[in-house]
Structure 1
Amino acid sequence: MLMTFRTAALALAMCTVSAVAAESPAQPAPGELINSRLSYMKDVAGYKAQHHQPIEDLNQERRVLEKALADARQLGLDGETVKPFIQAQMDVAKAIQYRYRADWLASPESHWQPRPLEEVRKRIGQYSDAILASVSATLKQGSRLTATDKAAFMRDIRQPNISPQDKELLWRTLSAVSLAHE
């Protein structure tokens, strides 16, 4: 009987913890989301290399920027402050892709295959949406990005082929994003 009571109490405690966790999920930090988004650049570079496509695709960049600006407006963000941030993400993504391609000239990867580009772009788009939603939620709570946030951001971005200057660009443009003035 005592064992059954303990088991029931433990089960109730676990359900309570699970319910609380479900009510207040931890929002990933923007740096973690950006890092995840950038983790797909090797696949993009590999796919484009295999299919003899250039890294820079201005039509795709235009579509990404237009969608991001529309999403930003729906989230209450100022499009003029979001635009440099989105452009910075695309510029850093291209820089990473160029660095992969340069590395492969000297040392090709023989037992690796990139994921299909459409699948990868879908995942990148999901992370892009999550990044804007995270920034919007933070700003709507009245929070601003601080020096402490910058240190965590710099630690969170840990992709191969990203430079300290790339991280600075991302931080500078991210920290300039603001809510739309109504």
Structure 2
Amino acid sequence: MVSKLEKVIIRITVFCVVGLFPVIPLNKAINAHNSDIEELFLLINERLSYMEHVALYKERTNSPTEDIEREAVVLMDAVETANELGLFGPSIESFFKAQISVAKAIQYRYRADWQSESPSFVPLNLQETIRPKLTQIGKSIVDKIATLYSNGEQINEEHRDLFHNSIDIE
């Protein structure tokens, strides 16, 4: 079970992820609509919510948490989608690298917790269910970033509380 402190660390870490991508110009006036930004945050939350299943699937199949080949595919897909939408690919790549790091941290935490208390659920199938869903969510995240960018919207410190309220990783 993830402690409250770990939840706070995860939330702060994930919020830092949002600040890693300079896709949205800083010289524009702050005019972000919370609904669009909240949708992005909820997509990030949805993506991270699968990490417990990912971790348990990997635990049960004796697979390592880190999968460099899969990470490369995720990054390539994100950059390709970003380029198609007119975004700066390297910024999206940095953003997704940070998301991958947070996702792995969550998986490591769950796997460590399960050393003392076994989980009581059956994980979703990684290949058939989780990865296709994560791919779709990843595309939606890049699409939402493109929408924010095209609308001249920004994510900044004022959105920290909204972000924290949107992330509910257990």
TM-score normalised to structure 1 length: 0.70
Aligned to 1:54, which of 54, 64, 87? 64
Contact 1:75–1:136 (Cα < 8 Å) also in 2: yes
**Matches of 1:51 and 1:130, distance apart in 2:** 29
Give the match for residue 121 of structure 2.
112
Query: For 2:115, what is the secondary structure of its paired residue?
Result: helix
Give the match for residue 147 of structure 1.
157
Aligned to 1:123, which of 112, 122, 133? 133
Consecutive aligned runs of 4 or more in structure 1 exceeding 4 Å deviation? none
Residue 98 (structure 1) aligned with residue 99 (structure 2): no
Deviations 1:34-73 (A, max 9, x none): 0001110011001100100000000000111011100011
**Matches of 2:123 and 2:103, distance apart in 1:** 16
**Matches of 1:139 and 1:150, distance apart in 2:** 19
**Matches of 2:90 and 2:72, distance apart in 1:** 15
Question: Larger RCO: Structure 1 or Structure 2 (Cα < 8 Å, ≥ 6 residues apart)?
Answer: 2
Residue 156 (structure 1) aligned with residue 166 (structure 2): yes
Q: Root-mean-square deviation (CA), in Å?
A: 1.3
Q: Which moved more, 1:120-129 or 1:140-149?
A: 140-149
Residue 67 (structure 1) aligned with residue 46 (structure 2): no
**Matches of 2:80 and 2:151, distance apart in 1:** 21
Give the match for residue 42 of structure 1.
52
Instruction: After TM superposition, give the deviation of residue 129 of structure 1 in Å.
Output: 0.8
Q: Whose Rg is larger?
A: 1
**Matches of 1:153 and 1:76, distance apart in 2:** 25
Query: For 1:88, what is the secondary structure of its paired residue?
Result: helix
Identity %: 36
Query: For 2:114, what is the secondary structure of its paired residue?
Result: helix
Q: State the number of aligned residues.
A: 134
Contact 1:31–1:157 (Cα < 8 Å) also in 2: yes
